[in-house]
Structure formats: C-alpha cells, structure tokens
Structure 1
Amino acid sequence: MPRCGNSTSSPCCSGEKKCNVYLSREIPVTFGRLKELQLLHLRQNELVGEIPVTLGYCHQLTILDIADNQLSGGIPTSFGFLRALEQLMLYNNSLEGNLPASLINLANLTRINLSKNKMNGSIAPLCGSRSFLSFDVTNNAFDGEIPEELGNSPTLDRLRLGKNRFTGRIPVSLGMICELSLLDLSGNLLTGPIPDELKSCRKLSHVDLNDNSLSGPVPPWLGDLSQLGELRLSSNHFFGALPRQLFNSSKLLVLHLDGNSINGTLHGEIGDLSSLNILNLNGNQLSGPIPKTIGKLSNLYELQLSRNGFNGDIPTELGQLKNLQSILDLSCNDLTGNIPPFIGMLSKLEALDLSHNQLIGEVPPQIGDMSSLGKLNLSHNNLLGKLSKRLSHWPAEAFEGNLDLCGSPLDGCDNLGSGKQRSLSETSVVVVSAISTLAAIALLVLVVTIFLKQRREYFKRGNEVKCTYSSSSSSQARRRLLFHHGANKQDYKWEDIVHATKNLSDEFVIGSGGSGTVYKGEFRTGETVAVKKILWKEDLLLNRSFTREIRTLGRIRHRHLVKLMGYCINRVAGFNLLIYEYMENGSVWDWLHKQPVNIKKSLDWEARIRIAVGLAQGVEYLHHDCVPKIVHRDIKSSNVLLDSNMEAHLGDFGLAKSVVENYDSISDIESNSLFAGSYGYIAPEYAYTLKATEKTDVYSMGIVLMEIVSGKMPTDNFFGVDMDMVRWVEMRIQTQGSDRGELIDPTLKPLLPCEESAAYQVLEIALQCTRTVAQERPSARQASDLLINVLNNRKVVTDKVNMEPHK
C-alpha cells in the first residue's frame, strides 16, 4: 500500500501534495488522478513495466523521481504537459527509444538525469529550459550534434553527456555557461579542437573529454582555470608540445593525456603541480629525460609514462614519491643506466613496470622486499647478474628478455652461453677495485670532515633548537622534550631523541606520508615513541603541516586520537620533530592490505567492528566537541592507527583545519585554497569545489568502513574502469547469494549469522556516509550512534547465545 508524507496508515488520495511510495511491481495508472500531486518519489523500488501515460496528467508535479528501477519502454508523450516540472530523475532503468518532441515544453526544468538507460536520437527536446542546474544523460545511445541551446542556461553547474554517440564539434555556446564547473563529454565521436570559448567558464573544475576524436594542440588557457581539479583528454588526436601554462594548475588532482600524439619534452615545471594524485602520459611521443622535478609531486598516487621516447637514467628523485601506490610505469621507452635501489623504498607501490627499455646492471635486491608489490615487469632490458633469492618468488616472465640475467626463477647461472664475456678480466677487476677503494677512502674523509664541521656548528648554535611538551610554554622547556607519565614527568634532550632512532636511521622507519617520515624511537628507559620528521621550511606557507599538527593535537585529547607528546624545532639540523605515543600494531591499511608475512594474523570481526566504532567516535569528537570544530581532511585507513590493544586512533593532522562560522580569517582562506585528501577517499563534491566540510570527512570515513568490511582498497582494479567502491557496494548489498557475499572479506569467513548481519549493517551505514549529496549524509555523531548500536546488538546476540544451555 502506498504511504503519504509521514503517515503510515493513510493511502494516497486525490488532494495529497506529496507521496512517497513503496512498491514491488508496476507504477499504478491511478496515480494520474492525483491532480494536485507535487512530488512523486519512487526510487529503488524494483519497479518493472512501462511508465504510465497517466502520470502526464499530474499537472502540478514539480519533482518526479523514478530512478534506480527496472522500467522499460519509452518516455510518454504526455510528459510534455508537466509544465511545472523542475526535476526529472529517470536514471538506472532500461528506458529506450527517442525523446518525445513534446518535452520541449518543460521550460522550468532545473535538474534532469536520464543516465544509464538505452535511449537514442537527439536530446534537443530536453533543451527548452534556460534554468538548468544539472544535466545528465550519460550511458545512453543519443546521437547527432550536441544542441547549441544548452548554452542558454547560464546557471548550469554540471553537464554530463558522456558515453553516447554524439558527433560534430563541441558547441562554442557552452562558453556562455558562466557557472559551469563539470563538463563530461567523454566516450563520444566528437571531432575538431577544444573551442577557445570554453576559457570563459572560469569555474571549470572537472573536464573529461576522453575517448573522442578531438584534435589540435592542448589549449594553453586550461592552465588559467584556477579551479581545475581534473583534466582528462585521453584517447584523442591531440598533438604538439604541452603548453607551459598548464603547469600553473596548482589544484590539479588528475591529469590524463594518454593515447594522443603529444610530442616534445616534459617541462621541469611539471613539479609545480603540487596537488597532483594521478599523472598518465602513456602512449604519446614525448622525448628527452624524465624531469627530476617529478620528485616534488609528493601527493602522487599513480605515475604512468610508458610508450614514449624518454631517455637517460631513471631520476633518483622518484624515490621521494612515498605516496606512490597504484603503479609506476616507465615501460617502452629508451631509458638507460641502472635500476636505482631507491625504488625498493616505495613501500606502498603495488605495480612496477620498467620493461622494454635499455636498462643495465643488476636487479636491486631491495625490490624483493617490497611487500605491497603485486605486479613486477623488468623484462626486455639489458640487465645482468644473478637474481637475489628475495626475487625468486616472482614468475620468470617478470625478467624474460634479459639474456645476461640468471638465477631463480630463471635458469641457473651455469647455463649462460660461453660465447660472451660474462665478467671483467682479472686485470680489470684489480683496476676497478683499486679505484673503488681510493674513492671510498676519499669519500670517508670528506664525510668525517663534514660531520665534524656540522657537529661544531650544532653545539655553536644549539640555542636554535627548541623542544617542548605540546602544551607547555615554559622557558625551561627549551632544548628539552617534556613527557608526562601520570604524576611523573621525564625530560629528554634532542640528543636522546636522535639516539633513540639511531640518528633517524632508515631501519627505524615505520611509516611515511605526504607530510613526513615516521620513526620508531626506543629510549634507554624502555619507553617507545613514534617520531615524525618534517623538513624545516623557511617559507611559512610551506611549513603548514608541522604547525597544523601542533595547533590541532596540542589542544585536543581523546581516546581515539593519536596523542602528541611533544615537538622539536631545529633549524640547524634542517628538520622538525613531532613526538607521538607509539602505536604498536601499525595501521588498519597494514592489516588489510599488506602481505601476511608482515602481519601476525588477520583482523577478526570483533576487532574490525571495534575499530569502526573507535574511528567514528574520534571523528565525532573533532566535529561536535571541539571549539572551534576540526575537519581532518585526510581520513583513510593508513591514518587509522592501532595500539597494543588493537584500539583505533586517528592520526596525521597535517591537513586538518579549524572551522569557524565565518570563513574570514587568513588561516581559513589559506587552508581552503589547497587541495587536501587522498585519492579514493575524497568526497565527489570536494574534488570540484575544494571546500572541506564535516560532510567530506564523513564521506572518507564511509570509505574506510567499506574497506574494513570488504578488505578491498578503494582504488582496487577489481572494481573495473566504470565502477567505484561505493557503487560496487550499493549494487551488491541489494542482491542475495554469492554477489552479496563478495562484500565481506574472504579472510573473515566463515562468520556467525549475527556477525554477518552486523557486517551488512556497517555497509549500510557506510552507504549513508557516502551519499552523493553531502546534505543527505549523517553527521559523525549520528554515524557513531548507528555503529555503537551495531556493536551493542551484536553483544546482546552473542551473550544470549552463550547463555543458552548446550543440548
């Protein structure tokens, strides 16, 4: 029975103005009798059949939402009578056929979404309104030219026409849409250049023209779009050199230019794209060396430069890309020199492809220690020598085409042909050894000299070192770090901190991120802490991460937030230190995604639900109990740390910002002007608006909840090109059987019935947190309450089971 408004007993009847209906079959034709009906919302009701013609008789209807069903047939011609209609939502159905010409009468439309149907023909009948805010017809079979009339709506914010069969050129009239922020014309048959008129759309933040037949040079004015966050021009016919102006896009997050004919060299200014997460230049005609400045792209998650003509050595600066995770692909170029050992320090990297180059020397054994690496291809180079045993678990295909390479998984070194000289002659060995020894002695003398000089300078200018407990401002705290241990308080000097980490040795590294490297410090007293090293920057604007963590964690304390114990500033050493309580069990990301060799055991469901509640309670405290409230801006599984009791603590506040009622302060303006967050966890609206709110944190938290239940990374290739984690969960949670079972991490199975039910409840909460419209997401407090209920209900069920007598 249909239900109206908030009533649960009265059936819908003529005269009601709003109607929310819960059905399981076809839309009743009797709805046409509701002459005063203004809103009809039938989304996600598994409706089948055709749309009744009688709906066109509801002349007062302003919002019609029958999306996410299984409706078929076409759009009724009678819809042309819905002259008051403002929102028409028909997406995710199986509608087909041409649009009725009568739809041109819908002059009051502001939002329309017909995406993911089977409709064809022209979209001109939809273009009768001049008040569009959003227009989406993606994933259909519409054809013909894009109507010029779309440019008549100056308030249009998002225009999505992707994955259709549109032909011709991009209309120059689109340049008249001054509010346009998102333009998606991908997957069509468009030709010609990108019209210069689009440079008038100053608010453009997302441009997707992938998979067309567009041509001409990449327009320089794209670099003048101050809000540009994503630029996708893949699989077209663009040619010429990359314009230097493009590298002015300081907020650019994603740059896809692969599959074109772009030539020339890659300018060093590429390093100015400080916010860049993804850089894909595969399949072009770029040449020259890979610029060292790419090492400045500290937020880079994916780097693909394959199938070009890059030459020279692989820059050692790539070792600075500590956040590189998805892939590093330099294959099919003309790169020479050795494979630099630093690649083994990219601890998050999942795929490495250096195949089809001219690389020489041995394969660095450090690559065998990369626990996160799931794909390796070093084939078809000129590598030589015996492979380290640490590389023996890789298939032979990873090393094939290197004739002078041997050892497991390849043939034994005794099987190498004798026709080539495999080693240096005895004379050459003596000469090389002598030269190497002299060089080593000279280098040692130089290092000792520099060390002694710096040591003298260190003690000479020791007053420039400041270490203090995070909440202390006493002058006696200078040059010491104060720790509180209940009623006791201990002092540690700068020298103690350096000694505890063996001068910040790499062997003590336990993590790294965009803001710094984290070390494990073990003091003589037996106490263990985490020490984060952040390079000192003379430019205050470049030193934000350090000051933000002090300002944020220095004034807050919560059970589920990492505790800042102190900090040190040392201009002489050239870096700052933040001292935290040590989290013995690493991060949630480590437990979910690292290979088992690094983890004692897998996370059971009891641990996961408690981690989910702990994370939510930490975010709730930031949003609701702090004055002013704090937005974290980088919630992800690698920032959720676990103590010895497996209790969750949210850390890394280098991107956090305070939120005040009016955003007039300089700090708020500065904080909002930078892109923050990590790929896969970013709320969709933030990628385009760059405005961080509590709701963007809630979205990121929802992604982590999905990660905790499913065990999958939000950027997992498992989802495919046209699918993301949110949509994947959304589609499967409504099904039954094996598809629904895929939502739960296989390492958790088998689960008790009560645990399985709880897992699906957590996913339902996660879907609420990741709703596309930010206003529809729950607050952190609401999400926390929902998760606590899941935890408590599970406990009740478990206790009840335990109390039942055994039969």
Structure 2
Amino acid sequence: MNQLEDLVLANNRLSGSLPKSLCSNNTSLKQLVLSGTQLSGEIPAEVSKCQSLQALDLSNNTLSGRIPDSLFKLAELTVLYLNNNTLKGTLSHSISNLRNLQELALYHNDLKGKLPNEIGFLSKLEVLYLYENRFSGEIPTEIGNCASLKSVDMFGNHFSGEIPSSIGRLDDLTLLHLRENEFAGNIPATLGNCHKLTILDLADNQLSGSIPSSFGFLKSLEQLHLYNNSLQGSLPSSLINLKNLTRINFSSNKLNGSISPLCGSSSYLSFDVTDNEFEGDVPLQLGKSPSLDRLRLGKNQFTGRIAWTFGKIHELSLLDISSNSLTGNIPLELGLCKKLTHIDLNDNFLSGVIPPWLGKLALLGELKLSSNQFTGSLPKEIFNLTKLLVLSLDGNSLNGSIPQEIRNLESLNVLNLGKNQISGQLPSGIGKLSKLYELRLSRNILTGKIPVEIGQLQDLQSALDLSYNNFTGDIPSTISTLHKLESLDLSHNHLVGVVPGQIGDMKSLVYLNLSYNNLEGKLKKQFSKWQADAFVGNAGLCGSPLGHCAGLNKKQQGLSAKTVIIISAISSLAAIAVMVLVIVVFFKQNLALFKKGRGGSSAFSSNSSSSEAPLFSHGGAKSDIKWEDIMEATHYLDDEFMIGSGGSGKVYKADLVNGETIAVKKILWKDDLMSNKSFNREVKTLGTIRHRHLVKLMGYCSSKAQGLNMLIYEYMENGSVWDWLHAKKKEVLDWETRLKIAVGLAQGVEYLHFDCVPPIVHRDIKSSNVLLDSNMEAHLGDFGLAKILTENCDTNTESNSLFAGSYGYIAPEYAYSLKATEKSDVYNMGIVLMEIVTGKKPTEGVFGEETDMVRWVDTVLGSAAREKLIDSELKPLLPCEEEAAYQVLEIAIQCTKTYPQERPSSRQACDRLLRVFNSRGASYREMQTDSQK
C-alpha cells in the first residue's frame, strides 16, 4: 500500500479508533477521507507520517482529545476537516506550518482558548469555519494577512474585544458570520472594503457606535444582520446603494432617524427594525418589494399614516407596526395582501372604523388592533375568519354589541375586547369558542346575565376577566368546571346571590376577584385561603376571610336540612345507576374484545374508564374530542381506517359524530408518555405552533388501560406527496402545483428553523410527511416528534428507524453520528425536491448500483440528457416551466451537498425557490409577447 494516493472510506461503519500504523508505510497518501465512519478515540500523533497528505477529512465522528501538534507538520495539507467531533483543548501555534491550507473546518467541537496569531501565515486559506466551539479572546489582527479568505464563520463562541479592522483587507470575502459572541466597540469602517460580501452577520454581540457609512460600498450584500447590539445614531445615507439586499435585521438597538436609506432594494424577503428609535413617516418605497414576506417595524417612533403601498406586497404574511405613533385609517389597499396571517397594529393612534374587508383575509391568524382610537361597531365580516387565533381590539372606543356570529371563530385562542364601550348581552355563542385560552371583556357596558355556556370553554386558562361591566344575576356554577383557569375577575358588576362553593375548589386558580358586586350569604370554607380584598364591596357577604356571619336566614346561610336529605337521596340513586352502567359497559366491551380476538384482528377495550378525555387540546377542534369518540369512529383502531404508518406510529382517519374529521396517530411506544411531564410539556409547546405550511397538532390523549398514546392532528384531505407521486392516483400533479408544494415545504422548514424559539429540527422530512390540504397546499407533519420521543422514551426495535431518519433521505453526517441539525433537515428537503421534479422514489433501482438519486441528478443535470430528469407524466412542459424544473433541481443539489457547511440554510433555499416561483409570471408574459410578434 506504499503507493496508495487516495483512501476514501466516508460513511462506512468502521468504528474503533484511527490506527496508528495507518501512515507507517504510506508515504504517497495524498487524500484520507474517513468522515462519518463512527471513529472514536484520539487522533494519533503518527498521522504526521503521511507527509504527502493534501486532504484530511475526519469529520462527523466522535473523535476526542486534543488535536495533536504533529498534525501541523503536514505541510502539504490544503484541506483539513475535523468538524462535528468532540475535540477539546486549544488550537496550536504550529498551525503556521500549514502554509498551503485552503479550507479549515473545526466547527461543532469543544475547542477553547485564543485563536493563535499564527493564523495570519495561512495566506492561501479560503474557508475558516470555527463556529459553535468555546474560543475566546480577541481575533488576532493577523487574520487580515489571510488574503485569500472567502468565508469566515465564528458564530457561537466567546470571542471578545473589537472586531479587527484588518478584516477589511480581505478583498475576496463573501461571508462574515460573527453572531453570538462578545464583541464590543465600534464596527470597523474598513469592512466597507470587502466589496464581495453577500452575507454580513454581526448580531447578538455588544457592539456600539453607529453603522459605518462605508457599508454603502457593499453593493453585493444580500443579508445584513446587526440585531441585539447597542448600535445608535442614524442610518448612513449611503445604504441606499445596497440594491441587492433580501434580508435585513436591525432589531433591538438604539438606532434613530429615518429608515429611508434602507429602501434602495426591491428584493426584500424580510425586513426587521423592531425595537429602535426610528422616526418619521414609514417610507412608501418599502412597498416596492413584491416578495417581502415579513415586515416588522414595531416599537419605534414612526408617525404619519400606514403606507398605502404595502398593498402592493402580495407575498406579505406578517405585518407588525405596533408601538409607534401612527395616525389615520387602515389603508384600503392592505386588503390586497391576501396571504396575510399576522397583523399587529397595537399601540398607535389609528382611527376610523375597523374595515370590514379584513374579513376577506382568509388566512389571518392574528389581528391585533389594541390601544388605538378605533370607533364604530365590530364588523360582522371579522367573524368569518375561521383561522383566527388571536383577536385583540382592547383599548379603543368601539361600541355596539357582540354578535352571535362570534361562534364562528372556532379556532380562537385569545379574545380581548376590554376597555371599549361595547354594550348589550354576552351572547351564548361564546360557549362555542372551545379553544379559548384567554377571554378579556373588562371595562365595557355589557349587561344581562353571564351565560351558563361559558362553562363550555374548557381550554380557558390564562384569564376570564368580565370586570367593570353591568352584569346581573347569579354567578353561573358552570364556571367551576373550567379546570385549567388561573385568573377569574368578575369584580365591579351587579352580580347577586351566593358564591358557588365549587369555585373555591378550583385548584388551578391563582387569582380571584369577586369584589364590588351585590353578592350575599356565607362563604364556604374553601374561600378562606383568599385575601379579603377578593370579596370586599359585597354588603351581604360574610364568613372567612370576611367577618363573622350573624343574623342570616337559612336561605342566606345555605341549604335547609330537608334540601340536604333530598340531594343525598338523589346522589345515592345516581351513584347506583352509574355503577350499573359501568358493569354493563364492562361486559359488553369485553365481549366485543373476545369476538375481535377470535377473528384475528386488533381491538382495544376501554374497560378501565368510560370517559377518557384528551389530556391536552389546543386549537382547531370543533369540540372536545374524547377517547370513546375516536374508538367509535375507527372501530377501535381497525386497520380499515388506517391511512398511513411510519417509524413513530400508525395514522388513522376518524370521522367523528360531530361532523369533524381528524387524523389520529397511535404512537408505537409502550411507555405511558402522557404521565411524563417532559413529554407533556414538549407536546403542549408543539401544539401552540401555527403556520400555514405546518400540520396543526390539535391535542393528545392516552389510556393506561390500553397502553395507548395518541396524537390528534388536523386531517389533510389530499394525502401526502408520496401518495401522489408514487402510489396509484387518479390525477397527475401538474407543474404549477408541484412548484407550489416545493415552496410551501421550504417555508414550513424555514419557520421551524428561524421563527421558533428555540429552533426546531424536524429530523425526518420526507415526501410522506408532506401532506396536502383541499387546496393542494403543502403542510409539513410530524415536526418535533422524533426529538421528544427520543428524549422521553425507551425505544423498542420497532421504532428505532425513526431516530436515524428514513432510508433514502438520510444526510451523510446523520446516518452514523445521529447528530441532527438544521442542515440535515435541508438535506432531507433536497431529496423531496428531487422527488417532486423527477417523480422517482429516492430508493429506486433505476439510478444504478454504484449511485443514488443525488449523484444521478447531479450527473445528468449537467449533461445533454438532462430532460430525462423531469417526470414523464409532466411532459410536455412549456419552455419556461422546464427551465424552472431545472432550477429547482439545482437548488436540490445545493441542499444535498455531502458536507453540511456547503449546504444553504433553509431560509436561503426558501429564498431561491421563491425566486423561481415568483419569476414564472414574467416568463409567461415573455412567451405571450414573443407569440404576438
């Protein structure tokens, strides 16, 4: 083997440690690639004997210990990848010996200490990736001597001091990522000399001073992130020259003046200057970026009107201009933004009526107009927004009544109409809002009785606040059934009668205020734990914690002896009836179980409980979904109702008696997950995540008697992308639909990675997890499930496949290291993109024995035969559609690069797909023009 030049064994199951004798008789070895081979132990010092070595890749293993000094004797090295290991210690000064080094990747280790000054001797270095280690101290000024540097990523370390001005000498630099460190001082003006920069990220540091005017020379810049610093002063006018910006984030600084200098680009996808001191009018020019998806201008000092040009941003999904000093009406043009899901205009001086056209924004999930000067009544059109989760209109001057149509907002989680002039009765339809988490109607002029239907709001938890109104009548005892409620305020009304004793038994309550009403009678002993302030202002009320009762008649004191006897008798009869019913159900269900068992099919008895309701439900369901409803709808999870299965469990379609259709996933774990507090908490968190391209988790339930755990999801009428591409189907997915699915998938993944805190890594993206609704919109399912099952369960052999991803989709670095990252999700997504275009399964044998889908697509796309990459069922395509298909494949190839650092982020991939999607209109117009010539 002494003549061997290349040894490439990447992604094989070698295990063990790196042999010390590997280089003993191998003086000619030039390339040694052992990435993803399950190697452990330390890197042997004897590796220095491979004196001809030019490329050393030991990444994606579990190597430990220090990087041996002897490794830096390999003077011919051009590539050194040691990333994704558990290496410790410091970086040796001997690195200066690697004068030919072009790429150095040490990220995802546990390295610490200072970056040695000798780094400056690496004049040929092009890539320097040190992110997610524990490096500290200042970046040496000698880094400016690395004249060939193109990409520098030091994110997530403890570097401190000032950013060296010598970086400005790096003429070829395209990426500078220094986020989440401890840099202080001013941003060096010399960075403006790096004219090739496309991404500059200095966020999450302690930088001060102003933004250098020299940044106006960075005309290739696409992303500029400076958020979470202490920058101040006005924006330099030179920033208007940055015509290629797609994303900027200056949030959480102390910047002031106008934002007009940021309006030179018409290619924005996201724009965030939240929490600064910007002032003046919101520039009309912001409306010239038709692909802008998220626009955040909140917590500033903007004045004037909302720019009418925002109506031109047809891709806008989020608009936040809250906490400013804006005046005037909401512009009519905003109604053209049909993709809006979030509108936050809280805390301004906006006036006029709430426009009825808001009710036509069918995707709207949050509408926040609190603390303004809106007048008039609540437009009934708003109650057509069936996807609305948050409606906050408090702190205005709204009048009129709450219409019965409020019952239509079945997905609503938060309703706040407080501090207005709303009158009339609270409609009984309020009880239909079964997913309400918070209800605030205080400081209005509401009259009549509190409807007993309010007891149907079983998810009400944060607050029920009806204070400072004119409610009359008794306190409905049904309030005591709100077993999650933490805050109850009925103060300052005209309520009468006794306080229902059951309210005192509500274990979840942490705040109670019934003061200043006309309540009477003796408080039950359960109320003694509350302060007297909770009951003051009720002249006829007594008992602990108030004063001693004296002279009360029997009605005021409580029930008569005769009444007690009658109630006791009724209770006894009821108990006997329940016992008889339980016995009948027990024998009936066990007989059914016996018959099913004899027949060989699976069935599950619920003889331990006849009413096992979900432990948790959060938004989306029309009413409470109980265990029995699911069992009845699926014939006890009979295979006839199964619509899918995978590593995490089987999925069933359930048509409930209330007319609702849901998807039920039976988790294949024997553990009692629902009693696991960590699992409980994680699933509740997942249940709060809402995005138009994610499958909504509506709840979960379990039965200890059956050993079953089930998750409840919204049902997707059109199945999965896998079904449409690979199973028997009635119709072919046309190109327009496939492209829309690709973009929707990318937007869902981007939301998980960039808009969830903390970010969520999916771990198992595949075409069978991309589900399609009635409009063929993509919804990514099972997000977050693999992680919480891994952390909370003892896996069995039946489910082990879940945690290594799915065959055909596994990223190279994940297949053996089991380290899931956002970049492994991007790889999975790239495979799905290839499926969408080619129509082929990632595991098909047509690619040949020596290759896979990724290599096949990469090879053929660059050849004259590339047309065979496009699914034959799509043909013939228009020339512009065919070109778009190739562009999607090019993005897919970038997503499936072998090394994670070479892949785009999900946000970058999403941006590129959006460009393809948005450019199709122009392509069609060009074709029409050509045909008319």
Q: TM-score, normalised by structure 1?
A: 0.64
Match of 1:18 among 117, 123, 127: 127
In structure 2, relative to structure 1, the CA distance for the partners of 1:608 and 1:580 (3 Å cut) is closer
State the one-letter code of the partner of 2:487. K
In structure 2, relative to structure 1, the CA distance for the partners of 1:65 and 1:649 (3 Å cut) is same
Q: Match of 2:415, SS?
A: strand
Name the residue aligned to 2:276: 164
Question: Is 1:39 aligned to 2:155, yes or no?
Answer: no
Q: Is the 8 Å Cα contact of residues 642 and 650 (structure 2) preserved in structure 1? A: no
Q: Any idea what the Cα deviations from partners look like across 1:355-376, whole Å, max 9, x if unmatched?
A: 1111111112221222211111
Name the residue aligned to 2:460: 349
Name the residue aligned to 1:402: 517
**Unaligned stretches of 5+ in structure 1?**
425-479, 523-527, 534-548, 592-601, 616-630, 710-764, 782-807
Q: Any idea what the Cα deviations from partners look like across 1:280-334, whole Å, max 9, x if unmatched?
A: 1110111111122221111111111110111111111111111112x11111111
TM-superposed deviation, 1:58: 0.8
Match of 2:676 among 603, 615, 621: 603
Q: Match of 1:309, SS?
A: coil
Name the residue aligned to 2:411: 299
Q: Match of 1:279, SS?
A: strand
Match of 1:775 among 822, 826, 830: 826
Q: Is the 8 Å Cα contact of residues 413 and 435 (structure 2) preserved in structure 1? A: yes
TM-superposed deviation, 1:202: 1.4
TM-superposed deviation, 1:396: 8.4
Name the residue aligned to 2:174: 62
Name the residue aligned to 1:131: 244
State the one-letter code of the partner of 1:138. S
Q: How far apart are the structure 1 equivalents of 2:598 and 2:737? A: 35
Q: Any idea what the Cα deviations from partners look like across 1:575-605, whole Å, max 9, x if unmatched?
A: 478898999999999x5xxxxxxxxxx5377
Q: Is the 8 Å Cα contact of residues 204 and 227 (structure 1) preserved in structure 2? A: yes
TM-superposed deviation, 1:236: 0.2
Match of 1:649 among 710, 723, 732: 710
Match of 1:634 among 680, 696, 701: 696
Q: Any idea what the Cα deviations from partners look like across 1:394-423, whole Å, max 9, x if unmatched?
A: 578511111324424354379899999999
Q: How far apart are the structure 2 equivalents of 1:567 and 1:245? A: 34
Name the residue aligned to 1:525: none
In structure 2, relative to structure 1, the CA distance for the partners of 1:405 and 1:116 (3 Å cut) is farther
Aligned residues: 600
Name the residue aligned to 1:95: 207
In structure 2, relative to structure 1, the CA distance for the partners of 1:632 and 1:396 (3 Å cut) is closer
Is 698-707 or 130-139 further displaced after alignment?
A: 698-707
In structure 2, relative to structure 1, the CA distance for the partners of 1:122 and 1:585 (3 Å cut) is same
Q: Match of 1:202, SS?
A: coil
Q: How far apart are the structure 1 equivalents of 2:191 and 2:253? A: 20
Q: How far apart are the structure 1 equivalents of 2:255 and 2:226? A: 11
State the one-letter code of the partner of 1:633. V
Q: How far apart are the structure 2 equivalents of 1:146 and 1:691? A: 40
Q: Any idea what the Cα deviations from partners look like across 1:19-63, whole Å, max 9, x if unmatched?
A: 112522211211101111000000011111000111111111000
Q: How far apart are the structure 1 equivalents of 2:420 and 2:780? A: 38
Q: Is the 8 Å Cα contact of residues 314 and 340 (structure 1) preserved in structure 2? A: yes
Name the residue aligned to 1:786: none
Percent sequence identity is 25
Question: Is 1:385 aligned to 2:515, yes or no?
Answer: no
TM-superposed deviation, 1:507: 10
In structure 2, relative to structure 1, the CA distance for the partners of 1:484 and 1:578 (3 Å cut) is farther
Name the residue aligned to 1:263: 375
Q: Match of 1:213, SS?
A: coil
Is 399-408 or 220-229 further displaced after alignment?
A: 399-408
**Within 5 A, what are the aligned runs for 1:250-329?**
250-325=362-437, 327-329=438-440
**Within 5 A, what are the aligned runs for 1:465-544?**
485=597, 487-488=599-600, 514-517=620-623, 530-531=631-632
Match of 1:112 among 224, 227, 237: 224
Structure label with greater radius of gyration? 2
**Within 5 A, what are the aligned runs for 1:173-184?**
173-184=285-296
Question: Is 1:121 aligned to 2:198, yes or no?
Answer: no
State the one-letter code of the partner of 1:651. I
Q: Match of 2:367, SS?
A: strand
Q: Any idea what the Cα deviations from partners look like across 1:487-544, whole Å, max 9, x if unmatched?
A: 357999xxxx9xx999xxx99898766244456577xxxxx963469xxxxxxxxxxx
In structure 2, relative to structure 1, the CA distance for the partners of 1:114 and 1:669 (3 Å cut) is closer
Name the residue aligned to 2:642: 554
State the one-letter code of the partner of 2:129. N
State the one-letter code of the partner of 2:406. I
Q: Is the 8 Å Cα contact of residues 91 and 114 (structure 1) preserved in structure 2? A: yes
Q: How far apart are the structure 2 equivalents of 1:551 and 1:666? A: 35
Q: Is the 8 Å Cα contact of residues 530 and 582 (structure 1) preserved in structure 2? A: no
Q: Match of 2:327, SS?
A: strand
Q: How far apart are the structure 1 equivalents of 2:741 and 2:555? A: 58
In structure 2, relative to structure 1, the CA distance for the partners of 1:40 and 1:304 (3 Å cut) is same
State the one-letter code of the partner of 1:14. S
**Within 5 A, what are the aligned runs for 1:342-741?**
342-350=453-461, 351-393=463-505, 397-406=512-521, 407-408=523-524, 409=527, 410=535, 411-412=541-542, 485=597, 487-488=599-600, 514-517=620-623, 530-531=631-632, 554-557=642-645, 560-561=648-649, 564=652, 575=659, 603=676, 633-635=695-697, 638-639=699-700, 641=702, 644=705, 648-655=709-716, 657-659=719-721, 660=724, 664=734, 696-697=780-781, 699-701=783-785
Match of 1:339 among 450, 473, 483: 450
Q: How far apart are the structure 2 equivalents of 1:103 and 1:578? A: 53
Q: Is the 8 Å Cα contact of residues 97 and 120 (structure 1) preserved in structure 2? A: yes
State the one-letter code of the partner of 2:416. Q
In structure 2, relative to structure 1, the CA distance for the partners of 1:161 and 1:176 (3 Å cut) is same
Name the residue aligned to 1:214: 326
Q: Match of 1:255, SS?
A: strand
Q: How far apart are the structure 2 equivalents of 1:581 and 1:107? A: 51
In structure 2, relative to structure 1, the CA distance for the partners of 1:671 and 1:586 (3 Å cut) is farther
In structure 2, relative to structure 1, the CA distance for the partners of 1:153 and 1:369 (3 Å cut) is same
State the one-letter code of the partner of 2:447. T
TM-superposed deviation, 1:122: 2.0
Q: Match of 2:479, SS?
A: helix
In structure 2, relative to structure 1, the CA distance for the partners of 1:309 and 1:669 (3 Å cut) is farther
In structure 2, relative to structure 1, the CA distance for the partners of 1:70 and 1:186 (3 Å cut) is same
Is 654-663 or 152-161 further displaced after alignment?
A: 654-663
Q: Is the 8 Å Cα contact of residues 531 and 579 (structure 1) preserved in structure 2? A: no
In structure 2, relative to structure 1, the CA distance for the partners of 1:40 and 1:405 (3 Å cut) is farther
Root-mean-square deviation (CA, aligned residues, Å) is: 5.1
Q: Is the 8 Å Cα contact of residues 356 and 380 (structure 1) preserved in structure 2? A: yes
In structure 2, relative to structure 1, the CA distance for the partners of 1:166 and 1:47 (3 Å cut) is same
Q: How far apart are the structure 1 equivalents of 2:471 and 2:823? A: 46
TM-superposed deviation, 1:648: 4.0
TM-superposed deviation, 1:128: 2.2
In structure 2, relative to structure 1, the CA distance for the partners of 1:35 and 1:519 (3 Å cut) is closer
TM-superposed deviation, 1:146: 1.3
Q: Match of 2:216, SS?
A: helix
In structure 2, relative to structure 1, the CA distance for the partners of 1:695 and 1:369 (3 Å cut) is closer
In structure 2, relative to structure 1, the CA distance for the partners of 1:309 and 1:666 (3 Å cut) is farther
